[in-house]
Every structure is written in C-alpha cells, then in structure tokens.
Structure 1
Amino acid sequence: MIIEFLESKRIIKSREIAGYLEKNEVYLTHSMLKKFTELAYELENSTDENFYEKLSEIKLDMKKSKKDRGTELIEKIERMKMPVYSDTLREFEKRIRKIKNSQISVKYPRELEGGEILLEIKLKDHRDVKKSLDSLDKNREIIEEMMRIFENGIWEE
C-alpha cells in the first residue's frame, strides 16, 4: 500500500523508501504518511540530492514505539528541510514549556509568522489572580525572549 501511495505522488525510489520504513519498523498514520510524502516530494524537487540517499542516513531510536519512530522520522526530515526554522521552533517551544502550567496556556501561529502570541490565564477564584500574575512576573525574561524570537522569526544564541 505504501509503495502505491508513494508512486502515486511521483516519489522516486518508492520501493526503497518503503523498504526503509519496513526495516526500521516505522508506523505512519494517514496524516503522517501524507506529511512524509509532501516532505519527500519537496526535498526531491528542491535540491539535486536524492531523497532516498538522505533518508537512508537517518538513524531512528529503535527503543521507541513504531508510531513514535514515525514522528521522529518526520521531525528529522523537517529539520533536514528547514534547519533554522526547526531550531527556532524548538527553542520557542522550550520557553513555552517553562511558563505553561495549569492556569497559563500559550497559543501561537505554528510558522511563527504574523499574528500574535496569546497568553491565556484561567482563573477559578481570587487566589488564582495573584498566583498567575506572580508566575508571569517570575517568567518575564522568558516571555520577553519568546517575543524576540517571534518578532524576529529566528532564534539566535
């Protein structure tokens, strides 16, 4: 089935790619397979390099579940395609994890372009107000770093 799907999307070396997926016991949901195919097509057509050759160099963590290896594979291919964006998004999300809690959530455009960052505060009673505001104040520098990354569209050390 995967071979036919890849071939229908005009992916070169579809059989070899399917062999790689089977050998590495990678499970791709339908949406993951679609994303994988889009990335393969884009990489094949945007560079002179052979996608299968690049793919065959990717080593996956065999201790993970099959589905997690699928996610890992897609992340590594995205990194291969867009290394600066991938690093920037990873750094941005690292900061989000530091400020996010049961009361504070963060929403942002996935591509880190345009729009805005939305900090949402959930309050159940008057004690939550102080707790949330203290948390935001404590994480002021992290939030400012997030905004710099968001405004510049790139993370720089």
Structure 2
Amino acid sequence: MSESQLPPPGTVRHRTTARVLPVRPDGKVLLLHGWDPLKPQTPYWFTIGGGVESGETVAEAAGRELREEVGIVLPIDALGTPVATNTIEFEWGGCRIVQHQTFFAVAVDSVDVTFANQEELELQTISAHGWWYGDDLEATGQAAHVTIPGMLRRAADVITLRRAS
C-alpha cells in the first residue's frame, strides 16, 4: 500500500494496482516480506507494487512503485507488456480491499535493493526482501495470496522466453 495512513476500519476499498516481478537469470523473483499492520504476528511474502495514481498509466505506476519500494530504476519501456491481470480480495489494516492488479515481469541481473524511498507505513510493515521460485514459495505457505506462486512461475517463463529470442 502506498497510502500513508490506514483506511477507516470496516470500509471496502476498490483499487487498481501495478505489480512488478523482477526476475533474475536463475528464474528467481524478487518479493517483499511484511505484514498487515493489525496482524504483525502473521508475516507473508508479496509482490512489489501499489496503487495507480490519478493521471498515471499502469506502466508508469509500476515503474514508480519499483523505484519507491526497492530502489530499482528502469525506463518504462523496459516493463514490456503486462504478463497477467487479476482481481483479488483481501483484508488489510481492518479494511476489505478489492484489488485489480496488472503484473509486469522484468529481467534483472544483479540489483542493490534499498528501502530508502519507502513511505512511513511501508517502512513499518515491510521487513525484508527475498528471491523466490514459485514452487519454493508455495511450499512455505507464506505467500500473501494463493495466486502469487503461479505469478512467479509465469514471470520466470516469460522472461526466459524473452531472453531466448
């Protein structure tokens, strides 16, 4: 979430987000480790990304979120076309979220991840980053949403195909 404060409890929020799946040559995908601010005892792994702001394209939002959340700066055209979209529902901060997501996969070699540009709420609810294979993440049961391991597999497949062409 890129919002600086929690929504009023019990509300339902509809949001459009851009998600980015950075993929290394070995097929591992960069994820963030964090928790719901009301449930810090139940951490999980989730994808990089956040809300599309007014006047911003989904690709522009993806590039901005990648820079803000992990310090990776890429030209927008490096994102290519989206690899997937879906809509999920979950609870976060006492609020029901209905989130339409667009996923981009990007090839990266080595990156220096930094949390220096995160907003205060992100700094309070994100503790680490890690590189994951979809199958390994699925085996832990610690994905923020059941769809994430499949997204990691899809991103790795897309990037492998792009690198081969």
Question: TM-score of the superposition, structure 2-length normalised?
Answer: 0.22
- Which has more helix, going by share of residues? 1
- Which has more strand, going by share of residues? 2
Larger-gyration structure (1/2): 1
Which one scores higher on RCO, CA 8 angstroms, separation ≥ 6? Answer: 2
Question: TM-score of the superposition, structure 1-length normalised?
Answer: 0.22
